[in-house]
Structure 1
Amino acid sequence: MDTKSKKGFTLVEIMIVVVIIGLLAAMAIPAFQKVRATSQEKAITNNLRQLSSGADQYFLEYGVTEVASTKLVGPDSYIKAFDDVGTDDKYTTTIKQGEDITANLPDGTVVSVDF
């Protein structure tokens, strides 16, 4: 009598599972990257809106029409801190009343908020 068990997977079955997992990953990764980019853009837009609001408060308080963004952000300023977006975005350095506030994203996209 043969007491060996013939349970298990064949090489073909394992290869099919690997191919299916690869296809699922190929579809999921671009979708994940798109969602991530969209969420970063929305976070940056929110940061720009906070800058706009802080600049409005600064203009009303000091009666000026332009301010450096560095004066608006800090522990003792109008905006305590921004949410970390995880990008090397560059915000407008000087905010002028009536001009858009912008940020340049690493992929070259420019996000702006009307001011």
Structure 2
Amino acid sequence: MLNKPKTRAGFTLVEIMIVVAIIGLLLAIAVPNFIKTRQLAQSRACINNLKQIEAAKQVWGMEKGKTANDVPDVTDLIGPALYIKQMPQCPAGGTYSFNKVSEAPTCTVDGHTMQY
């Protein structure tokens, strides 16, 4: 009988290490970009919410004859028959302050500010 050399099925340790290194490199590139993109999307959504609040505040102030120093309450702006149907939520978990009619609304998360 002839002895046939045994062929091994499977991968060597070096091949597995190379694959793991490539996957690690791809993750090192992709994860920071994903996080940055997510933060940018949250910031933009929050700024859009702030713009909605600002517009509602301005209309409220004009319709009710308010001065620049008046501060609207949540019940003045938000409700089914009011300027905003439901309270906007910051996607990053921040909270909104309406501020005076003459001031822009703010969010507690850094970087979530309206630009004029």
Residue 64 of structure 1: which of 63, 66, 72 is its match? 66
TM-score, normalisation: structure 1: 0.79
CA gap of 1:77–1:64, structure 2 versus 1, over 3 A, is: same
Superposed CA RMSD: 2.4
Which residues in structure 2 correspond to 1:2-13 (within 5 Å)?
2=4, 5-13=7-15
- Per-residue CA deviations over 1:3-37 (Å, capped at 9, x if unaligned) read 85434321110111011101110111111111111
Checking the alignment, whether the CA contact within 8 Å between 2:94 and 2:107 is kept in structure 1 is yes
1-structure distance, mates of 2:85, 2:4: 76
TM-score (norm 2): 0.79
Paired with 1:87 and 1:70, the residues of 2 have a C-alpha distance of 24
Q: Give the % identical residues.
A: 39
Q: Residues 78 and 84 of structure 2 are in contact (CA less than 8 Å); yes or no, is this contact kept in structure 1?
A: yes
Counterpart secondary structure, 1:112? coil
Report which stretch shifted further, 68-77 or 54-63: 68-77
Matches within 5 A, 1:1-115: 1-2=3-4, 5-65=7-67, 66=70, 67-81=72-86, 84-92=89-97, 94-105=98-109, 109-113=110-114
- How far does the alpha carbon of each residue in 1:19-57 deviate from its partner, in whole angstroms, 9 at most, with x for none? 110111011111111111111110000000000111111
Q: Highest CA radius of gyration, 1 or 2?
A: 2
Greater than 4 Å deviation, 4+ residue runs: 82-85
User: Which structure has the higher relative contact order (CA within 8 Å, separation 6+)?
Assistant: 2
Structure 2 residues without counterparts, runs of 5 or longer: none
